[in-house]
Structure 1
Amino acid sequence: MSGPGLDERTDLAFEGPDDAEPGTDPAARRGWGPWWRRNRGLVAVVLVVLLGVVLTVALTPRGSGEPLAPDNPAPEGARAVAQVLGRQGVDVREPTDLQEVRDTATAGTTLLVLQADLLAPDQLRGLRATGADLVLVDPSLPVLQVLAPELSIGGTAGSYTAAPGCDDPDAVAAGEARGGGSRYVASGSAPVPGVEREAPSATARVAVCYPPGSGTNPDAGSYAVVDDAQEQRRVVVHGQPDVLSNRWLAEEGNAALALRSLGRQDTLLWYRVDPLDVALDAGDGPAPTAVELLPRWVGWAGWQLLLVTAVAVLWRFRRLGRLVPERLPAVVRSAETTEGRARLYRAAGARVAGAQVLRAATSRRLAARLSTGSVSDPATVARLAAAASGRDPVSVGLLLDGPPPTDDAGLVRLADDLDRLEREVTHR
């Protein structure tokens, strides 16, 4: 394959830009296939991240998510009762700190306090001094000692449905409702150590409702009301939080009991005690930072992760050698690459492939010379080339599309014959 004829035609081994069909863009022929094969992993990761973001946004509950929060639509939330009160004309507000509560809670408003156990005795007295109607949910004995000393803890019980069992107008109107949880009795209790108990009022009317009627302390009820008209003080105690929740609001008389206990006034302050706000209000110093709120073990875990990362970097680190300057871009003559490819054909004994390359290149050049346009099939090119050179069409057809040579000498002769045909067509 290294004969003179083949060496003179080695440029046939490569297909340059001029050999492509007119008006065809190589990038357009490739399309998106190569790009997709290189970047499909990255595209998959981006799609997974976007899907995760969309699902997170779609599945995140729109509300605080806190139990008995007025914006929580979950079963343990209280959005339903808050919305019903709003439709009935009650202005439902959510104060965020104790100072706002003290500024807005006045006589003629209702103050619902959740997690009152977190408040200090002085802070509880501040709520009592506002003159607002108080609604307490599952309060402990220290809270009762300050806000409702006429009541005491009567134990706990599982959930049950019971009749009012009292003469309180709101309970009587509601009828049967869900009881259980914490229960209370209308009697004084022993002082709690560390809590200065307020003196019970002699004029207060106390009603304990929804007792189980059996078991231990059957007269202790889960709903109690302390109404002192002389001191203009009213305290409602819900020992069963389910009465206010979305899940149980529509059962029995729960809705009526919740709406009547919370909707007596035109303004309802829905206050959930915040431990940080309690600490600030008590004068215990500035609010702790986010770092101070972290558990102690987080710092040790962070240092350990940092150490492990440093060891991994040192372990996998690859030292770079000395920089070697290089003149870029490297210039490689086209003849060298063509000759290298021809030698590869010869080393592989690829006479059939070599013959196909030589014939295809000659056919394309003849087609361009003879102006056949997009028609470049061997039969058409052979017919036109025979007419242009004066040769027999059959012999030209066998030359351009005949059987492959059987040895290297035949391949060299084929290259010479193709070159001779091309010169005849060109010079005539």
Structure 2
Amino acid sequence: MDHDRLHGILTELTARHQVPGAQLAVLHEGARLLVHTGVADTASGAPVAPDTAFPVGSLTKPFTAALAMILVADGDVDLDEPLIGQLPEFGAGALVTLRQLLSHTSGLPSDVPEGTSEAGADRAGWVARHCRRTDLTHPPGTVFSYSNVGYVVVGRLIEAVTGMTWQEAIGAVLLEPLGLRPAFVAGPERTGRPVAAGHAVQAARGRVVPVPEQDLPEVEMPNGALALSAGDLLAFAGLYFAGCPDPEPLDRATADDMCFDQLASMAVGPYGMADGWGLGWARFDDGAEDVYGHNGTGDGTSCHLRFDPVNGSAVALTTNANTGQALWDDLVPRLRALGLAVGDRPEPEPPAGAAAPPPPDGCLGRYTNGDTVFEVLRGDGGGLLLSFGGAPHSELLCTPDLRFVMRELGSGARSPGRFVPDPATGRIDHLQITGRLAPRA
């Protein structure tokens, strides 16, 4: 593996997927390689540079988790004590712990309601209104269900303990000691660091359209406000390598704890997203070793980080197009061929054969998670359709074991999902899509 070969692979794949610009950073067998290509913004023509920051979306969450774990290591927060004492505004805090928030087992709804812009960054008020006991979708500590709402609460906890805003704390406590200069896509403080614009690739029309800005409410900054380079992501991953001396600002024990799967006793895991989940990190099976990481999608951006904490290898990809996920899917086998373990969940294949298996009995109906409503309907041809937000969204191509491939109408994009039966009755009582678990209404 060398610089020219990596650069050639990145250039080839950005052209194939019409991605305007990208960075790729790799640490493998002691060699650290960084390559970049293209433009950060098609409107201005500004080139991608090694320090160009890309909006990393949900890859912000492991940084928020690391900041919370620093507070745990300092004795300011207990991982397993209910949080109501430190966050009296958190109505569900009598039942929910920090460990559950970080591992997406808190039972809180998956997504912040669309159109949320109330009170700017007043997370205390937002948590009081939206994170009550009655808002819980599942009993805490029983199942995995990916939750952006949970990380809003983590951000509020950080503010309550440090006396700083989340934005101030993530910089002063975590990033600056690492020598990283963050940029933010929301909030009052932006940096002068160049940030790549997102782009929407409209393949059918042959257009690549810049996205004016990231549409992220301030209250959700702990979920997705960071903008960083691939090199920055690689530096962060280095905190978790086994055998390294105690890194600052994370100590060795804290870093190891974050890479310990929390879901061994869970009845429902992160199907379709990963094989397990630690405290902020997804766990992927990849051969003899586990690989950890996270994906992040913004408005017209797609970023990915994977690392092997045992062997000390890592890969980070930043892209500024909505087709960046497809680029990543093509990149993973190329990296594996070069000897780099990269845990991933490839796009699922529809069921084989001329005739799809019949839909499972008892799957039709409405499923809800917070304000999100899914409805499984019978299509004209006898198959299944998924309605999302009141409009048909996808067809569901089922397999006999209650799993399905969700194929979006129009785009054809595929993602995995499944129906989850009650173990006692066998009745289908949950729907799981992209890690979000929705009980039957």
Alignment TM class, shorter chain as reference:
under 0.3
Larger Rg: 1
Q: Greater helix share, 1 or 2?
A: 1
- TM-score between the two structures when normalised by the length of structure 2: 0.19
- TM-score between the two structures when normalised by the length of structure 1: 0.19
